[in-house]
Amino acid sequence: MLFGGSDYTCAPAADELEISVFGAGFGEAIAVHVGDNVWTLIDSCVLSSAGVSAQREYLADIGSQGARVQAIVASHWDDDHVKGFAGLLATYTGADFILAGIFGHQDFLAFAAEYDMPLTVVARGGVRELYAAIKHCVEKDRSPTFAAPSRRVFSADSYSHGAPVELWTLSPSDMEVRNFLRWVADQRQTVATTRRLAIGRKRNDLSTVLLIRVGLDAMLFGGDLEEEGKPDTGWSAILNDSGRPDHKSDVFKIPHHGSKNADHPGIWKQLVVANPHVVLVPWALGGGTLPSKADVDRIQGQTTNGYAASYVASTRSIKRGNAVDKTIRQSTRSFKTARHNPGLVRLRKKVGSVGAWKCELFGAAVHLSDYLSRSSSV
């Protein structure tokens, strides 16, 4: 069981929407229920010693083993979004696999193949997880669906609640794809260099943004898409796209852990309703943490309904005994630990109802107004 609490194991009703956002300090995953025990899963992280994706454990915990997973989305390939992803895909064999089409380009796959070497004991690059997922598709003759700007990748109106369900991808833009291919070309190896692991790209401009509409309700999932102020990349490209669905979302998964460089004033004016429900997943890698205090203040300036799937528990090192602790201090300029601190923000609402979303917090999840007081080193 991932979390405690008597309400935790309660599955959504057939006519109930659910957005469950999992976080742990490093790692994020999302499960969306659109009705009739049909789910869309976005990204993947591992929260427990079971070693499987959080969504898999969650669906078992709430008794939804018979769940029909309609789509699995890989927003991008950073380590904190893909752990357990290949296993998720292999488990739900009937699900559509949605990812940026560029991940099927021969140059990217050659790059991924170069780095697909088990030369380490524990360390793994995120690209290996995505590469395993693509190999799985080829081996199992499974056709992935490519994400592109303003592309409706799924629609159905056969749900018992009677509302039509649509999945749209809003990115990556053509310019992002070209930029990414240039980056991949720079990463290719040359003969006689020592093997290394693939390190993710610093800027997350290739991230897939997903919009799910269920009748009049809409939910926007920002992945890790960032903004650089250019009209044909990042959030600007989405806002400038006249082909995107003209519908404001009630729920918004904040991109890139709430960082300032993933925000754009147009998101709040054009893509989401006033005072939306927003969820962010904090990120802590050693001493670096997101969101910052300024990020929290900025987001709270837009909505009072903000939540964080986790908080930064501690950056203090684990105690390993005097000799080791003393040597760590003497041998490093800095040494920081981001403690695994899993939590879940769960939002539920009857399809088409005018009432507010019901929000439940499990584990380390907190209301955004409590985030700073609960976190250390922010």
Partner 1 sequence: MTDTARGEGPECHTDTQHVIPDIGLPRPKNLTITVAPRSRLITLQEWEGLVENVDQERGSFTARLYDLRRKDSKDVEIAEFDINDVEPDGQELILPGAVFRWIIGYRDAVYGKRERVSSLVFRRLPAWTTEDLKRSEERGKSLANALRWK
- Residue ranges with strand state E in 202-317: 210-214, 217-221, 249-253, 272-280, 283-285, 288-290, 305-308
Q: Applying CB under 8 A, does 1 fall inside the site for partner 1?
A: no
Binding mask 273-302 for partner 1 (x = CB under 8 A): -----------xxxxx--------------
Token pair recorded at residue 81: 């979004």
**Residue (243 or 288) nearer to partner 1, CB:** 288
Q: How many residues does the chain have?
A: 378
Q: Applying CB under 8 A, does 136 fall inside the site for partner 1?
A: no
Q: Applying CB under 8 A, does 143 fall inside the site for partner 1?
A: yes
The H-or-E segment that residue 220 falls in is strand 217-221
Whether the CB-CB separation of 279 and 251 falls below 8 Å is answered with yes
Instruction: Identify the bridge partners of residue 210 per DSSP, sorted by sequence position.
Output: 169, 221
Instruction: Identify the bridge partners of residue 308 per DSSP, sorted by sequence position.
Output: 280, 366
**Residue (108 or 268) nearer to partner 1, CB:** 108
**Residue (11 or 146) nearer to partner 1, CB:** 146
Instruction: Give the C-alpha separation, 328 to 154, whole Å.
Output: 52
Residue 374 burial (C-beta neighbours within 10 Å; 0-12, 13-18, 19+): middle
Q: Which stretch binds partner 1 (CB under 8 A): 10-18, 160-168, 316-324, 356-364?
A: 316-324
CB of 276 to partner 1, least distance (A): 30
Q: Applying CB under 8 A, does 319 fall inside the site for partner 1?
A: no
Q: Applying CB under 8 A, does 107 fall inside the site for partner 1?
A: yes
What is the footprint of partner 1 within residues 85-104 (CB under 8 A)?
A: 96, 101, 104
Q: Applying CB under 8 A, does 178 fall inside the site for partner 1?
A: no
Q: Applying CB under 8 A, does 196 fall inside the site for partner 1?
A: yes
Instruction: Give the C-alpha separation, 54 to 208, whole Å.
Output: 20
Token pair recorded at residue 317: 């090192």
Q: Applying CB under 8 A, does 365 fall inside the site for partner 1?
A: no
Q: Which stretch binds partner 1 (CB under 8 A): 206-214, 250-258, 338-346, 365-373?
A: 338-346
Token pair recorded at residue 314: 């501690």
- Torsion angles phi and psi, residue 100, rounded to 5: -60, 135
Q: Applying CB under 8 A, does 331 fall inside the site for partner 1?
A: yes
**Among residues 6, 65, 190, 373, the one that binds partner 1 under rule CB under 8 A:** 190
CB of 241 to partner 1, least distance (A): 21
